[in-house]
Amino acid sequence: MSNAVILITGANRGIGFELTRQYLINGWTVIATCRNLETAAGLISLKGKFPDKLFIELMDITCPEKIKGLASKLSEENIKLDLIVNNAGYLDRENKSIHTINYANAEMCFKVNSLGPLYLTHCLLPLMNKKRLCKIAVISSAMGSLSLEQSVDWYGYRMSKAAANMLVVNLSKELVNDNVAVVAVHPGWVQTDMGGSTASENVVDSALGVMKVILNLSIDNTGNLYSFNGEELPF
């Protein structure tokens, strides 16, 4: 789909950057968002290799006005989106016990991991190219599953990912007749700044797995949570 357009949030590093790179290699036009250019050296380098396919847009996923502004800009440019990947993420590392909760960091998890994707989808939905199947992916986590056995840590992260999973369920039901399929994807424990160097999965394998899940997404299997390896996980 060399004429397909994807928007990826948090595209300046980690899984978001690798998704950007892989989709560019596959011929997609990529709108890559990040908060500032100071942390986007990799994206700027990619822009040199894909000058006509990569477009870097500054956006803070926690700021509704910035999200609305980006949507207005893309609308004015007559951009039509085939795929939105809500990838930007935040982890409250210190909130491992109810006795030591940092409220601001827990709140930030919700702003980045669930409320941001909610409002981004709201603003960008009119730009989706519904003449063909459109897709929305939320990079979620098995740590947000209410059914899988869980340890006790990272309160804000786990709670916000559970909320993100419910966002996917709601969107899938509301948009099923609009030719829009929605999926939550668990990318695995990945060797990124967030996951750390001891994580079990490398970022390339994770990104390629996420892409395969999105490729296999259809109206028939909309509204589910999948691991990057293709395994369906319970919410």
Is the whole-model pTM more than 0.85? yes
Question: Is the Cβ–Cβ distance between 233 and 145 less than 8 Å?
Answer: yes
The CATH number assigned to the domain holding 35 equals 3.40.50.720
pLDDT (0 to 100) of residue 20: 97
Predicted confidence at residue 193, as pLDDT, reads 64
Q: What was the pLDDT predicted at 195? A: 59
CB atoms within 10 A of CB 56: 18
At residue 230, the pLDDT reads 94
As given in the structure block, the two tokens for residue 176 are 């099923």
Kindly give the confidence (pLDDT) of every residue in the chain, 235 residues in length, as a single tens digit, with 9 standing for 90 and above: 458 999 999 999 999 999 999 999 999 999 999 999 999 999 999 999 999 999 999 999 999 999 999 999 999 999 999 999 999 999 998 888 999 999 999 999 999 999 999 999 999 999 998 889 999 999 999 888 888 887 888 899 999 999 999 999 999 999 999 999 999 999 977 666 665 666 567 789 899 999 999 999 999 999 999 999 999 999 8
DSSP secondary structure letter of residue 52: T
Q: How many domains are there within the chain?
A: 1
* Burial class of 22 by CB neighbour count within 10 A (0 to 12, 13 to 18, 19+): middle
Range of the domain at 197: 5-233
pLDDT at residue 196, rounded to an integer: 62
In 3D, which of 115, 116, 135 has the Cα closest to residue 125? Answer: 135
pLDDT value at residue 130:
82
pLDDT of residue 1: 41
- Say if CB 150 and CB 114 are below 8 A apart: no
User: What local confidence, expressed as pLDDT, does residue 197 receive?
Assistant: 66
Q: Are 62 and 75 in contact (CB under 8 A)?
A: no
